[in-house]
Amino acid sequence: MRTMVVLLRHELRLLASIGLWVARRRHGLGGGSTGFGYSRGQTTMMLGFGFVIVVESIMMSLLLRNYPAVQRAWFMLDMYTLLIIIGMHAASVVRPHVVAADSLRVRRAAHVDLRIPLEKIAHVRRELRHTHERAEGELNLPIAAQTTVTLELTEPVAHFTFLGRHKDIRLVRFHADDADSLVKLVRLAKQAEPAKHTKEVTQARSAPSPLPDSPDPTA
């Protein structure tokens, strides 16, 4: 039952992503944050999948023309598959990675959304990798079999898999179309964090103390 609920929520997010894609809007941006796309490397592959589904639907409709009930069922299944493919691509477009003043939000389509506080990022670098071995404490999010950014964390952050399994992540590798700009902006945001914190502390310490209560003349 839980799996069905998870799948339904995922499909609803895909449908919502199609709506945002049509409206040319992106999810999760605002308040001075900056989005970085990662879908460029998979566009051709997604178009290929869609083309295969369309061709298959036409061919099966011809082959099953003497079995109208089966023909309709197969057609509906193909259209549903095509809708999911479009939704996955749309989600990749409208749900970019987000660099905010205090965090980096790493995403992939509608099924990965990991928010990492900047203070927990020890190192961030541009690193092109084409092979990714599974290891405890690592999260790899390749696009077209490659990642371009590597994050090393000072302490684990909680990540929940598609079906809700908890994992503690210390190293994250993901793809960004403009990896150089993303790495530069994260470094600048990290440098601004201590200055912002110092300014807030200074303002708090320099704030005027409340005046003492006046003595009660009737006392």
pLDDT at residue 196 tops 70? no
Pairing of strands 121-129, 34-36: unpaired
Convert the pLDDT of each residue in 6-53 to its tens digit: 889 999 999 999 999 999 999 999 888 999 999 998 999 999 999 999
User: How much is the average pLDDT of 89-113?
Assistant: 95
pLDDT at 219: 41
Convert the pLDDT of each residue in 145-176 to its tens digit: 899 999 999 999 999 998 888 999 999 999 99
CATH of 97-202, one of 2.30.29, 2.60.40, 1.25.40, 3.10.28: 2.30.29
Convert the pLDDT of each residue in 129-143 to its tens digit: 998 888 899 999 999
Convert the pLDDT of each residue in 49-74 to its tens digit: 999 999 999 999 999 999 999 999 99
- By the 8 A CB rule, do 114 and 37 touch? no
pLDDT at 205: 53
Q: Indicate the SS3 state at residue 27.
A: coil
Give the DSSP letter of residue 207.
S
**Tokens linked to 108:** 């992939």
The span from the CA of 128 to the CA of 62, in Å, is 46
**Tokens linked to 76:** 């509906």
Split at pLDDT 50, 70, 90, the class of 3 is: confident
- By the 8 A CB rule, do 177 and 38 touch? yes
Q: What angle do CA 193, 108, 189 make, to 5 degrees?
A: 10
Q: 119 vs 125, 173, 193, 197, CA distance in Å?
A: 16, 18, 8, 11
Q: Where are the domains of the chain?
A: 2-30+39-94, 97-202
pTM of the predicted structure, to 2 decimals: 0.83
The span from the CA of 29 to the CA of 9, in Å, is 21
Q: Indicate the SS3 state at residue 144.
A: coil
